[in-house]
Structure 1
Amino acid sequence: MYFYLNSNKMFFIFILFFSTLISISSNSWLGCWIGLEINLLSFIPLISNSNNLLNSEASLKYFLIQTIASVNFLFSILLNLILFKNFEINYLISILINSSLFLKMGSVPFHFWFPNIMEGLSWLNCFILMTWQKISPMILLSYYMNKNFLIFIMILNVIIGSLGGINQTSLRKLMAFSSINNLGWMLSALMISENLWMLYFSMYSFLISMMCFLFYIMNLFYINQIYNFNINFYIKISILINFFSLGGLPPFLGFFPKWIIINFLMNNELYLISFIFIMMSLIMLFFYTRIMYSSLLFFNYKFKWFKIFVKNKSMIYINYFNFLSLLGMIFSTLFFF
């Protein structure tokens, strides 16, 4: 594994994965709620650190937010069970259940906690929060979905996720708003098909894992660190490829699932939603390009001891995966047709 983990953290990560399996394989709503609670109680020890005030603050904020979401989720389920014995779909109750799940995954308009908590986490915990912690709420959302409300929320996600990341200087907050933007795409994929959601989520997790690993080995947390340090040129190219693939630029692999989603939206005559999604992706690509364009053109003359040398064999695999991401669109196009 790329990150240093002791035995205690490995145990909590195992419980984290196990709790997600409990939630998505449960036959009752109470079992789903129990799985979400175990997930919460296993993630708190991962992010809490008594030696770091930011981690302690983030763990406390995360606990409070997730507890509120869990209480709302349980209240909505019991209210629906009391009022409607056969558990038929009620419009107001479905909005309450969906809202509690949106709060758990950090979706708009309940997203305000997400960038603040991301700012106090390590890159491994950021990766878990952006990927694995979204699985249970999204699968539970597919069981009890209010489509009109979901369309409104996914449009808000892509708009706020793209506009919120423009003036960010912290890479963790930038990745948080990027995750909010991609959450809008994932919700649209979930509304279309669960297989399409699995495809999008797996590719998104792959790209996010590469970004978090690169930032971890370079110890990068702010954008000006990419500008100031004489980082190896190949590492800058790797970050550039990953940013473009994450934004959905056509030659790269990240464009493939977005292309399928746009295709389905156009076939269902949802032209306005397709237009909003494409425009917001262009805004995402704008500030990705602005970061990497400046970092590639800045050649600061510094002392030799400021230069970063990465002697890590894992960079070979990262470069190989970047090559796959660059050429993956060609193979995926052939596969699609």
Structure 2
Amino acid sequence: MNNKFFPSNFLFIMTMVTGTLFSLSSSHWLTMWMGLELNLMGFLPLMNIKGKSMEAEASMKYFIIQSMSSSILIISSVIMYNINLSWYSMFNNNMISTMIVLSLILKLGGAPLHFWLPSITKQMSWSILFLMLTWQKLAPLLMLSLTNSNTFMILLFSISSTIMGSIMALNQTNIQLIMTYSSISHLGWMLSSISLNSSLTLIYFINYTIISIPLMSMLSLSKGNHLYMLTQKNKTNNMIIISLILSLGGLPPLLGFMSKLIILISLVQMKMMMLTLLLFLGTLISLYFYLNMSLMLMIKSYMLFNTNKISKNYNLIISLNILSSFIIYPLIIMFIK
């Protein structure tokens, strides 16, 4: 971050966090909408933190998309209030609930309404990209869990996000775009359980954030944002980055596999076999580009073998990622049963 304007950066971060907490702590649709707008007002200046023209263009696109989805959301909420005389989750009208779900999926960047996300994220710094792919999804996900109808429609968005996010990442060379499409694919997994069991989605979201923090921090140390840059020499421990990338891919016994396992068990118990198979298909496609990234790092590890120590800040998170099968699996079984 640009330390020259640090006090204002702190103010914007606090505005963004307050807006999200506003939405999370309310069950009133008007207050949740106000929280989303406050969050947007805090996040937009952070996108322009380096003052580049490309960042200004990205923030303008983001503002237009978020304003459009917020407009649809507030209009739908007002119509819902006129029908039910209630600002709370009473979705008797199917068309209104469809409009609200569409506006929230557009906010999240779920496929096929994901068209705006990649063009914005490839121009961001890694810290802002991390906020975009994690924190900015929190409030809309909670609001989706409050929509008690249109489960089938949300599941369709879930399948399309998982498969499209995986396919679109296959021929990308920009690491930031790969992480963005990976995030869309993971969003599909979160959406698959959002209307069935929102606490499982929260566990998945927390696990995704735990993996993303050290991974994006380490990827930001590479000299550029293209895949071939991973073969350049730098001071990070490559095997740890490989374990985090494979964890995002969902290989056992890593943390990413554990979070997918929770959702798979619950979907199989609900007899949703077709949905489970399609989610599996999306994950298998995404494993190709995760393994491609891992291979590049592995070649680098062989050619330019370093024994640099990793920063102690992430030791706990990385231990949790690698030992999750022993720590988290028993907790998952207890939670589901």
The question of a shared fold, defined as TM-score above 0.5 by the shorter chain, is answered with: yes
CA pair 269-55 structure 1, distance change in 2 beyond 3 A: same
What corresponds to 1:59 in structure 2? 59
RMSD over equivalenced CA pairs, Å:
2.3
Picking from 198, 206, 209, the partner of 1:202 is 206
CA distance in 2, matches of 1:255, 1:14: 33
Percent identical among aligned pairs is 30
Determine whether 1:321 maps to 2:324. Answer: no
CA distance in 2, matches of 1:24, 1:205: 17
Determine whether 1:165 maps to 2:169. Answer: yes
Q: Aligned letter for 1:132?
A: W
Question: 1:308 Cα deviation (Å)?
Answer: 9.6
What corresponds to 2:238 in structure 1? 236
Q: Aligned letter for 1:283?
A: I
Of stretches 15-24 and 187-196 in structure 1, the one that deviates more from structure 2 is 187-196
Matched residues, number: 327
Determine whether 1:253 maps to 2:255. Answer: yes
Determine whether 1:12 maps to 2:16. Answer: no
Contact kept, 8 Å, 2:250 with 2:257, in 1: the verdict is yes
Picking from 112, 118, 121, the partner of 1:109 is 112
What corresponds to 2:215 in structure 1? 211
The equivalences for 1:1-337 within 5 A come to 6-49=6-49, 51-85=51-85, 87-145=90-148, 146-227=150-231, 229-232=232-235, 235-298=237-300, 315-337=311-333
**1:221-246 C-alpha deviation (Å, 9 max, x unpaired):** 1111012x1235x6221211111111
Q: Which runs of 5+ in 2 are unaligned?
A: none
Contact kept, 8 Å, 1:251 with 1:326, in 2: the verdict is yes
Q: Aligned letter for 2:229?
A: Q
CA distance in 1, matches of 2:285, 2:320: 25
CA distance in 2, matches of 1:28, 1:320: 38
TM-score, structure 1 as length reference: 0.90
CA distance in 1, matches of 2:241, 2:303: 22
Contact kept, 8 Å, 2:163 with 2:282, in 1: the verdict is yes
**1:46-75 C-alpha deviation (Å, 9 max, x unpaired):** 001473121111111101110101111111
CA pair 218-320 structure 1, distance change in 2 beyond 3 A: farther
Contact kept, 8 Å, 1:24 with 1:136, in 2: the verdict is yes
* Secondary structure at the counterpart of residue 145 of structure 2: helix
Of stretches 186-195 and 256-265 in structure 1, the one that deviates more from structure 2 is 186-195
Q: Aligned letter for 2:64?
A: L
* Secondary structure at the counterpart of residue 124 of structure 2: coil
* Secondary structure at the counterpart of residue 254 of structure 1: helix
Contact kept, 8 Å, 1:123 with 1:216, in 2: the verdict is yes
Question: 1:280 Cα deviation (Å)?
Answer: 1.3
Contact kept, 8 Å, 1:49 with 1:56, in 2: the verdict is no
CA distance in 2, matches of 1:200, 1:126: 19
Q: Which runs of 5+ in 1 are unaligned?
A: none
CA distance in 1, matches of 2:296, 2:50: 37
CA pair 241-85 structure 1, distance change in 2 beyond 3 A: same
* Secondary structure at the counterpart of residue 221 of structure 2: helix
Contact kept, 8 Å, 2:20 with 2:138, in 1: the verdict is yes
Contact kept, 8 Å, 2:147 with 2:195, in 1: the verdict is no
